[in-house]
Amino acid sequence: MRTIYILFCASVLINTGFSQSIVYHPLPNTNAGWKCRSGGFEVDDCKSYQFLITGDTNILGLTYHKIQKSGVKYWMTTQGWCTVNVQEYFDYYVGAYRNDSINRKVYFVQPGTTVDTLLYNFNYSLQSPLSPSVIYNPGWGIFIISSIDSVLVGSQYRRRFGISTSNGDEFTYLIEGIGSTKGLLEPIRHEIEHFTSLVCFKQDNNTLYPDTAYNCLIYTAIENNTQNNGFQIRPNPVNDEAELITTSDAIKATLVLFNYLGEQVLICNNVINGSKINFTSLPSGMYFYYILNFDGKIFKGKLLIK
């Protein structure tokens, strides 16, 4: 009887998890952000950027959600590698999408057109070929759905579709309510020396991907100067400890420090005017910092550690 009871409980748990995963989750219609990055070797695409929903629009009688893309493009070294030196900032409208929740699909309209084109299909079955869409061109190769399971996003399970090349090399996923692990509008193709990836996804001010503990920094504006912008780190150069100086002692901000390879080496949350920051754990060299202000603005600068 004990064995039967244990098996019954296991069956209930499996069925409960399955029932959670089959509830369809459309893409959000407000207050959401996707943080992405791209780079690689000898490619002109070293970027850190985000997609934000900025409101609704009506196209041919249907409601679409407008998407703004903003971020920074970085210079490359003469050897072909990405740096953290900003080449330019960009901020522009990329189009709008609408949910077809009945058929579990998402459609997209590009700027200046009214052409309704498939963006995502979340109604695939196992071994289905990928449908032509905004993010997939069959000319890139034959891609199929090689796995279907569920993944915990926030507090809910969502269906996840593994995409493989024809030889079985699985390389990315579609996730209901998010898009793909390459990003929101990034091409679904198998890349070698170039990459695009979804860093994090945030909805209603809560990080849902990759997990709820990840600090997903979504920026609302980027300041393109390092002088007189309300933030200073001094002394600079610094030996062991420096102080953050701001124009208001009421401001709480987040400081993120990167090395010359673009690797995040330090993050300090809730820093205010006069906060002491210790750098003794870091080797000497040039670093780049970004400060995310409470109102979503980001400031940049350089810091030399002696």
Assigned domain for 9 exists: no
Assigned domain for 41 exists: yes
Question: Are both 45 and 182 inside the same structural domain?
Answer: yes
Lowest pLDDT segment from 103-112, 133-142, 174-183, 191-200: 191-200
Residue 72, both tokens? 């920074």
Assigned domain for 86 exists: yes
Which SS3 state, helix, strand or coil, does residue 280 take?
coil
Question: Are both 51 and 147 inside the same structural domain?
Answer: yes
Question: Are both 158 and 280 inside the same structural domain?
Answer: no
Identity of the residue numbered 173: Y
Question: Are both 193 and 67 inside the same structural domain?
Answer: yes
Assigned domain for 21 exists: no
Assigned domain for 117 exists: yes
Q: What span, in angstroms and rounded, lies between the C-alpha atoms of 95 and 184? A: 12
Question: Are both 115 and 226 inside the same structural domain?
Answer: no
Total of domains in the chain: 2
- 225: buried, middle or exposed (CB in 10 Å: 19+, 13-18, 0-12)? exposed
Quote the pTM value.
Answer: 0.70
Assigned domain for 111 exists: yes
User: Which tens digits make up the pLDDT trace of 193-209?
Assistant: 788 999 999 999 899 99
Q: What span, in angstroms and rounded, lies between the C-alpha atoms of 38 and 293? A: 24
Task: Give percent of the chain with pLDDT exceeding 70.
Answer: 83
User: Which tens digits make up the pLDDT trace of 35-77?
Assistant: 999 987 777 778 889 999 999 999 999 999 999 998 888 888 8
Question: Are both 225 and 183 inside the same structural domain?
Answer: no
Say which CATH number the domain at 225 has: 2.60.40.3080
Q: Which of 196, 305, 208 is nearest to 257 (CA)?
A: 305
User: Which tens digits make up the pLDDT trace of 231-242?
Assistant: 788 898 998 999
**Do 100 and 150 contact (CB within 8 A), yes or no?**
no
Domain extent, residue 75, equals 32-209
pLDDT of 74 reads 82
pLDDT of 267 reads 84
pLDDT of 137 reads 93
Lowest pLDDT segment from 49-53, 98-102, 140-144: 140-144
Q: What span, in angstroms and rounded, lies between the C-alpha atoms of 42 and 254? A: 32
**Do 220 and 297 contact (CB within 8 A), yes or no?**
yes
> Which of 175, 209, 243 is a domain's end point?
209
